[in-house]
Amino acid sequence: MIILGVNRMAIPKYQELMLPLLKFAADQEEHSLRSAISHLAEEFDLTEEEKKELLPSGQQALFDNRVGWAKTYLKKAGLLEYTRRGYFKITERGINVVEDEPETIDNEYLKKFEEFVEFKSKSVNTENQDLDNDDFEEKTPKEILEDAYQTLRDELAQELLDKVKNSTPDFFEKLVIDLLINMGYGGSRIDAGKAIGKVNDGGIDGIINEDRLGLDIIYVQAKKWENVVGRPEIQKFAGALEGKRAKKGIFITTSYFSKRAKDYVSNITSKIVLIDGELLAKYMIDFDVGVFEEDVYKLKNIDNDYFFDE
């Protein structure tokens, strides 16, 4: 017997949300954006995982962002209006559109409204941008911005990792110290400097304070390797921890860990955190090790509370 699986649709694009959102507001009542998100998530039968899926920055749910932009575009076309912070309702024009029963509402449909055409004409001209036109139409402006950010971040991470791999062992030890200190470990720089690279005791490269008071310590193994780190190396490190009656350890490498190594860590009592080359580069970016801030772009929005008494 062959059982056919159910093909789930992906999280709807923001243009696919325009008509359902306008119909949701067709009762002419005031609605909050949050209630609209909940309603549409149920209408599209999204799973909990889909509702929680985040933009690359991790700052907002992808579906929430798309509903927000669908609302913004409908507002720009005069089909919705903002009533107060986080709330909106349908306009007379919006009611007329719903009564016309269009099969879909997208950017092309909204071009029949002068206000939307004017809004789009003021948007960023993408003719000279390295963006696929279909992507530009399918994704929200914030998604496009975050995709570009993620691309730059991935390229930076790869460049960082290449530089780390080409560094000397002494520099790599210094890098590990800088990273752990910036992450809040190690107490003072002097204490951390005495720890990493100075122990080399039975599979342990160093120890570092978990907090500034030194209430607990973490054992560290740092390997600037090209080859995969397998289970035997992790077992050796775990055995060294056991010999010290320690419960916490960090194993850092510029390469990567085998599946068996990862599985082993998940099944032992000691808490060992594995940081491979990819994660190391990401942490370096997040905690400002070996990088500097080149440009800052601030995204701002209307503070409706300011205009509350308007």
pLDDT, residue 132, reads 42
Cα–Cα distance, 299 to 305 (Å, whole number): 18
Strand order from edge to edge, sheet including 80-84: 31-32, 87-90, 80-84
pLDDT, residue 123, reads 57
| Residue 234 CB contacts under 8 Å (≥ 6 apart), including other chains | 251, 257, 261, 264, 265, 272, 274
The class that CATH gives domain 15-122+132-139 is mainly alpha
User: What is the arithmetic mean of pLDDT over 199-216?
Assistant: 66
> Given a cut of 80, is residue 46 above it in pLDDT?
yes
Q: Are 276 and 256 in contact (CB under 8 A)?
A: yes
β-bridge pairing 248-253 and 206-209: unpaired
Long-range (24+ apart) CB contacts under 8 A made by 296-303 are 299/142, 299/145
Cα–Cα distance, 203 to 299 (Å, whole number): 48
| Residue 289 CB contacts under 8 Å (≥ 6 apart), including other chains | 175, 178, 179, 182, 283
pLDDT, residue 141, reads 80
> Given a cut of 50, is residue 149 above it in pLDDT?
yes
Q: Which helix (H) or strand (E) holds 31?
A: strand 31-32
Of residues 232 and 131, the one with the higher pLDDT is 232
pLDDT, residue 210, reads 75
| Residue 156 CB contacts under 8 Å (≥ 6 apart), including other chains | 281, 285, 291
Token code pair at residue 187: 């107490």
Of 73, 86, 65, whose CA–CA distance to 22 is shortest? 73
- Same topology for domains 15-122+132-139 and 168-286, yes or no? no
Range scoring the smallest mean pLDDT among 10-14, 50-54, 84-88, 137-141: 137-141
Tell whether domain 168-286 is in CATH 3.40.1350.10: yes
Question: pLDDT digits over 185-205, tens only?
Answer: 866 666 655 555 554 555 567
- What SS3 string covers 61-119? EHHHHHHHHHHHHHHHCCCEEEEECCEEEECHHHHHHHHCCCCCCCHHHHCCCHHHHHH
- What SS3 string covers 150-179? HHHHHHHHHHHHHHHHCCCHHHHHHHHHHH
Q: Are 78 and 115 in contact (CB under 8 A)?
A: yes
Cα–Cα distance, 281 to 162 (Å, whole number): 9
Domain locations in the chain as residue ranges = 15-122+132-139, 168-286
**CA contacts within 13 A on the Cβ side of 212:** 6
Question: Which residues in 146-284 belong to E strands, given as ranges?
Answer: 206-209, 217-223, 248-253, 271-275
Token code pair at residue 136: 């530009």
> Given a cut of 80, is residue 242 above it in pLDDT?
yes
User: What is the arithmetic mean of pLDDT over 277-304?
Assistant: 85
